[in-house]
Amino acid sequence: MTATLELDGSNAGGQFLRTALALAVVENRSIRLENVRGDRPTPGLANQHLAVLETMTEICDADVTGAELRSETIEFDPDLDRETGVGAPERLAGGQYTVDIGTAGSATLLFDALLPLSTILESALSVTVTGGTDVAWSPPLDYFRYVKLPLLRRFGIAAACEVDERGFYPAGGGRTTLYLAPSRLDRIGLVERGSFEGVRLYSTESASLADRDVAMRQAEGVLERLHRAPSLEFRERCETTALSPSPGSALVIRIDHGSGIAGFTALGERGKPAERVGEDAADAANRFLDGSAPVDRHMADQLLVFLALTGGRVRVPAVTDHLETGCALLESFGVRVDLDREDERTTVAVTSSLGTDD
């Protein structure tokens, strides 16, 4: 039996926890994580992180200790051999699950932790989450649906997402479902950007803001600010009024190019003009257009777990703290990661992925 992997989250946040849990399940390896979210002002498990841990535990029938709010040490053992028998390929049964985060904790971050499990599923899995769909410090729902999932489908992930109700801060109360099917992931290659193909715009307002035309005004802010190359035309503009327990709004810009997809987001805030929300997202998109990376900075972090499964290369727009701690975590699981720096451009290269002896 493989020894428990000891991990230290003192210099990391919630993404470190989510990635560690996902890799533990895929590798069928027990982990002990100390100093959970150690670099946050309030360390330990918050509601959203506890919901991830409890969901993983239920899906895998894992043994777990430390599954309580504010816990700073957890032990997690998926022990999939109990289902398949020692020596058999570790596969994960699907099924239908429901999760209530209980706050405006992010549903999309919970989904992020589950996506890698598609590579070991033996049947379809669906998880319906009640919580925040468009909240600070997490990908808005339309980024997850229209940027991340379409990009991952290019490399073999079979996943879809449906929304019943939006959940903005502070009430949350949104309801959305992730559907996963057994998937075989291809090696990831995202190094050269390729020619631009088009822009898609998704602007959402809660029904309580409809009389102020917030969704339309956010979109207009993008149109006024976004720099467009001659080949970069708008292909879709979607303005949505959604039911939600709390007033709120969200804006997502998607840019398609020859090799991939990039996304840029902004959320409405009390006292912030809707046009400014669109301008903020457009400013982030303009910085991307001025660079050379094929993915946005947030996607760069989120692709690390999939690079660990398949190997590959991704050029990133910046080496963030999230990226560095993510690379260190992959190396803890035995993945060989190189940061190749060339003329102010950095490529994350995974030359030895999980399950290989390269």
Residues annotated as part of the active site:
322
What are residue 165's DSSP bridge partners?
175
CA distance 53 to 287: 35
Cβ-based burial of 266 (10 A; exposed 0-12, middle 13-18, buried ≥19): buried
DSSP conformational letter for 313: E
**Positive or negative, the Cα torsion across 127, 75, 15, 343?**
negative
CA distance 343 to 152: 28
Q: Of 315, 357, 316, which is closest to residue 334 (Cα–Cα)?
A: 357
The pair of structure tokens assigned to 97 is 């699950």
CA distance 72 to 43: 7
Q: Where are the beta strands (DSSP E) in 42-104?
A: 63-65, 73-77, 95-100
Residue 292's Cα: distance from chain center in Å?
A: 22
CA distance 102 to 23: 26
Q: Of 117, 4, 124, 119, which is closest to residue 64 (Cα–Cα)?
A: 4
CA distance 218 to 266: 10
Angle between the N-to-C axes of helices 14-27 and 321-332, in degrees from 0 to 180, rounded to the nearest 10: 30
The C-alpha R_g of the chain, in whole angstroms, comes to: 20
The H or E element spanning position 219 is helix 214-225
CA distance 119 to 104: 29
Residue 288 contacts by C-beta under 8 Å, 6 or more apart in sequence? 255, 262, 264, 296, 317
Pairing of strands 95-100, 345-352: unpaired
